[in-house]
Amino acid sequence: MSDTSRRAPKPLKTTIGDHALNPATLMMGYGFDPALSEGSLKPPIFLTSTFVFEKAADGKRFFEGITGKRPGGGTAEGLVYSRFNGPNQEILEDRLRLWEDAESALTFSSGMTAIAILFFALVRPGDVIVHSGPLYAASETIINKILSQFGIHYVDFPAGASREELDEVMARAKQKGRVALIYLESPANPTNALVDVEAVSAARAAAFGDADELPPIAIDNTFLGPLWAKPLAQGADISVYSLTKYVGGHSDLVAGALVGSRAVIDKVRMMRNVMGGICDPNTAWMLLRSLETLELRMDRAGENAIKVCEFLRDHPKVEKVGYLGFLEEGSSQADIYRRHCTGPGSTFSLYLKGGEAEAFRFLDALQIAHLAVSLGGTETLASAPAAMTHLSVPEERKQALGITPNLIRISIGIEDADDLVADFSNALDQV
Ligand SMILES: Cc1ncc(COP(=O)(O)O)c(C=O)c1O
């Protein structure tokens, strides 16, 4: 059953007989009943701050849900007020969870809002967050600069850590306090190192198996999800998304989501009800449109990336291409990839021979690819992390992470692959 609090739509069917429907099919109608909206094929955008109750007793019952007086983790039986819920957001949440076969989902006004509210819902002073590194810079900032002001500690480990290393990390974290959350990001940006979620889950069971409640594992799945990686299947409890990237997919909105275990999502919903941060109805509607083409867009971007990376790898002015499709056979990273991923994605690192001057000449010569940060859009984007997104990272950490001046981050879009190769070839000629 769905989480919805809308007037009951027709039963939400995900099968025809024994045949399970693919999420790509369900994106066109799941969770919306046209009969409840004048027969409109598409959901209208519900621009309202508040919803009218039929009876005073309904209002009371709904508030008992929102405030947690009734079970359901802050879910009301009906629509109440647009800081808590709304039809567009609930249809979006219903559809998002289908991609990972998840129990529940919540949407937010940005990826960072989703991450911040997740942390605030789960951690208390004295607690410890165990996290993989590197993380998206703002996620690291919340942990080591903001939460640390409230007496929350952290222990980090490199993204590619082995089971033995993870056991040692868990033991060290336990000594510091109650481990409230294990927070991962895979692949890490810009190293592309994958986290072994199965190993993290096994290390958690070994370290905390006798506790009443295991610390939840949340993982930022923005780079490969929801098509190429489904970490809930490897033991994660929550998949974290910046919907701004592949899910939104057109570089025209900012939003975020958490998808996964109902027990964890319920705690976060209680916090979102209080703090706000829900995705707005207009953005939710745009995301519903984006979801209809999600698989098409990601498939095409992935196919383009293979062609572009194969061209770049053999070019004499290229030092290295950090792309998940080129992992060394037999390496532990290739092993994690085989167990966790169904495609290498379309975001990768290009290391040119030379330094900043060469990188800038390349970027300035691009004609199809746009010189901009972000990823996952229909258009190809390219940027220089050392001079842009990671400018404030201390020099030694940049070195350790391979964020060198000759590094270019590229997110491949859905243009014609031969046109993209021509663009990169021409730009390399200008270096
Ligand atoms: C991996 C990752 N997680 C989270 C975020 C934050 O998302 P948003 O910009 O939607 O807040 C980003 C943004 O670039 C990201 O790349």
Give the least confident one: 55-64, 147-156, 204-213, 336-345.
204-213
Secondary structure (3-state) at 313: helix
- Average pLDDT score over the chain: 95
Q: Greatest CA span in the chain, whole angstroms?
A: 73
Find out whether 252 and 378 touch, Cβ atoms under 8 Å: no
Ligand 1 atom, smallest distance to 135 CA: 1
List, for residues 144-176, the tens digit of each pLDDT value.
999 999 999 999 999 999 999 999 999 999 999
Distance 34 CA to ligand 1 centre (A): 34
> Nearest C-alpha to atom 8 of ligand 1 is from which residue?
111
Secondary structure (3-state) at 159: coil
Distance 141 CA to ligand 1 centre (A): 13
Distance 163 CA to ligand 1 centre (A): 28
What does the pLDDT read at residue 257? Answer: 99
List, for residues 387-422, the tens digit of each pLDDT value.
998 898 889 988 888 899 999 999 999 999 999 999
Categorize the per-residue pLDDT at 210 as very low, low, confident or very high, splitting at 50, 70 and 90.
Answer: confident
Question: Of the candidates 167, 163, 165, 157, which has an alpha carbon nearest to the alpha carbon of residue 188?
Answer: 157
Q: Return d(Cα 392, Cα 99) in angstroms, integer.
A: 36
- Which of 244, 290, 349 to mutate to test ligand 1, by most ligand atoms within 8 A of the CB atom? 244
What does the pLDDT read at residue 5? Answer: 67
What does the pLDDT read at residue 392? Answer: 85
The two counts, helices (H) then strands (E), for the chain are 14, 14
Find out whether 407 and 359 touch, Cβ atoms under 8 Å: yes
- Would you say residue 1 has pLDDT above 60? no
What does the pLDDT read at residue 397? Answer: 86
Ligand 1 atom, smallest distance to 222 CA: 1
Mean pLDDT calculated for residue range 34-38: 93
What does the pLDDT read at residue 9? Answer: 62
Q: Return d(Cα 367, Cα 19) in angstroms, integer.
A: 46
Distance 64 CA to ligand 1 centre (A): 34
- The more confident residue out of 9 and 17 is 17
Categorize the per-residue pLDDT at 189 as very low, low, confident or very high, splitting at 50, 70 and 90.
Answer: confident
Evaluate: CB of 112 within 6 angstroms of ligand 1.
yes
Ligand 1 atom, smallest distance to 243 CA: 10
List, for residues 243-277, the tens digit of each pLDDT value.
999 999 999 999 999 999 999 999 999 999 999 99
What does the pLDDT read at residue 269? Answer: 98
Evaluate: CB of 110 within 6 angstroms of ligand 1.
yes
Find out whether 146 and 316 touch, Cβ atoms under 8 Å: no
Q: Return d(Cα 135, Cα 218) in angstroms, integer.
A: 13
Q: Return d(Cα 218, Cα 156) in angstroms, integer.
A: 14
Evaluate: CB of 256 within 6 angstroms of ligand 1.
yes
Q: Return d(Cα 348, Cα 342) in angstroms, integer.
A: 16
What does the pLDDT read at residue 3? Answer: 53
User: 67-90 as b/e, with b when 16 or more CB fall inside 10 Å?
Assistant: ebebebbbbbebbbbbbbbbbbbb
What does the pLDDT read at residue 298? Answer: 98
What does the pLDDT read at residue 368? Answer: 98
Q: Return d(Cα 117, Cα 270) in angstroms, integer.
A: 10
Tokens in use for 383? 């940027």
Categorize the per-residue pLDDT at 190 as very low, low, confident or very high, splitting at 50, 70 and 90.
Answer: confident
> Nearest C-alpha to atom 10 of ligand 1 is from which residue?
111
Tokens in use for 23? 């999420």
Helix axes 356-365, 417-429, angle to 10 degrees: 130
Mean pLDDT calculated for residue range 195-215: 95
Q: For residue 45, which amino acid is it? A: I
Evaluate: CB of 88 within 6 angstroms of ligand 1.
no
List, for residues 105-125, the tens digit of each pLDDT value.
999 999 999 999 999 999 999
What does the pLDDT read at residue 7? Answer: 63
The label of the residue with tokens 């950090």 reads 322
* Predicted structure pTM score: 0.96
The set of residues, in sequence order, having a beta carbon less than 8 Å from that of 426 and lying 6+ positions away, is 365, 367
CA atoms within 13 A of residue 123's CA, in its CB half-sphere: 30
What does the pLDDT read at residue 2? Answer: 45
Instruction: Please list the residues that pair with 229 across neighbouring strands.
Output: 341
What does the pLDDT read at residue 8? Answer: 62
